[in-house]
Amino acid sequence: MNTLHFIKKNKRYFIAILLVVVFALIGRFITTIDFVKLKKYLLEMPVMIGGVLLASVLAYISSTAAWWLCLGKERKKTTFSELFAFKHLGEMLTVFNPTGIVAGDGLKATYIFQKGVDKKDGLSSILLSRALIFLSGISLLVISTVYIIISKTGNDESSARILTGVITIGLGAVFLSILGLHKNLYLGKMAKILKSKKKFTFITDKSVASIYDINQLLSDFFRYRKTSFISAFLLSAAQWMFGALEFFIVLRMLSVPVVFPDAVAVEMGVIFFKTVGAVVPGQLGIEEYGNKVMLDTIGVHGNEIWLVITLMRRSRQLFWLGIAGIFAIVISKNNQKEISTDD
């Protein structure tokens, strides 16, 4: 039986087992908390939340600006504030809907099509912005891992092997990026070659066609709109950096002596955990465990600190979920008004 088919067929059982294991580990962390110390930390939360929300606003603005650049001339058909709302609703749906990115990006497409954006250009902009977020995320993940190994784990033989592996992965990512940006569409051609090999049965004709499409979009964007490409890439990276700023603000306000690269490493590590656990709606439990693992990695071992950070991040998420609800209501009313006017 095909392994991927077996996993897909029994996905709910794998998710259930994963959640049981994760919540058991989280429960163990909670039992060791010093509640006197926790109370002291919780008193700082009202001040922290302002900084965390500001950082998240900047993250959302930077990612929206990246998408705005990807839209090209079609961005004239909508406003930046509308695009911000569309992207935010799409990302919230991505986090909480079982179908993930498909549902979120589908919702974004629906909204921008309603504004008169050309369907081909609109879909292209969504794919481009998603690809740039992925590329910038991989870049920061590799850099952060190298930083952690060099600064936190010492110079023993095992660290050297891990560092070599990470650098190899980084070079592989650079190689794939070159293939993806080249005018000869080498990324799509490589996917086609891999599909012809019997052991890569998970690569379908549809997958190859999608890779060719993304390859073409990235190549054209890079070749003909290089300034916009670089700007969008940097704005996509800024999204991750502002996410790291949330960790940095909370840790510094709790008097934890960290530097900003530590916070970036934690953010990228947590993103990795959330990506792996994307099948779980809201990454419930997965994000919390990722927070704990990454805080331990940078030498922050207090479970009280971990719980405060977890509460802050989830509070921020709930706040923006409420904002998404408001956006949905406003957009729905505006659409109804436009329909009434057309009639």
Query: Torsions phi, psi of 147, nearest 5?
Result: -60, -45
Question: Cα 3 vs. chain centroid, distance in angstroms?
Answer: 26
Helix segments in 153-259, DSSP class H: 157-181, 186-196, 205-224, 226-253
Residue ranges of domains in the chain = 51-342
Long-range contacts: 2-11, Cβ < 8 Å, 24+? 2/201, 4/202, 11/279
Q: Average pLDDT, whole number, for the chain?
A: 82
Q: What is the pLDDT of residues 213-233, one digit of tens each?
A: 888 888 888 888 889 999 999
Query: What pLDDT, on a 0 to 100 scale, did the predictor assign at position 48?
Result: 84
Could you tell me which residue, 118 or 101, shows the higher pLDDT? 118
Query: What pLDDT, on a 0 to 100 scale, did the predictor assign at position 236?
Result: 94
Query: What pLDDT, on a 0 to 100 scale, did the predictor assign at position 98?
Result: 59
Question: Which residue type does 148 have?
Answer: I
Lowest-pLDDT range of 240-249, 254-263, 331-340: 331-340
37-66: average pLDDT: 85
Q: What is the pLDDT of residues 159-183, one digit of tens each?
A: 666 667 667 777 777 777 778 777 8
281-294: average pLDDT: 82
Could you tell me which residue, 279 or 126, shows the higher pLDDT? 126
Q: Is 318 exposed, middle or buried (CB count within 10 Å of its CB: 0-12, 13-18, 19+)? A: exposed
Query: What pLDDT, on a 0 to 100 scale, did the predictor assign at position 183?
Result: 84
pLDDT of 152 strictly over 70: no
Query: What pLDDT, on a 0 to 100 scale, did the predictor assign at position 157?
Result: 60
Query: What pLDDT, on a 0 to 100 scale, did the predictor assign at position 264?
Result: 92
Long-range contacts: 138-142, Cβ < 8 Å, 24+? 138/173, 139/173, 139/237, 140/237, 140/240, 140/241, 140/264, 140/268, 141/268, 141/269, 141/271, 141/272, 142/166, 142/169, 142/170, 142/173
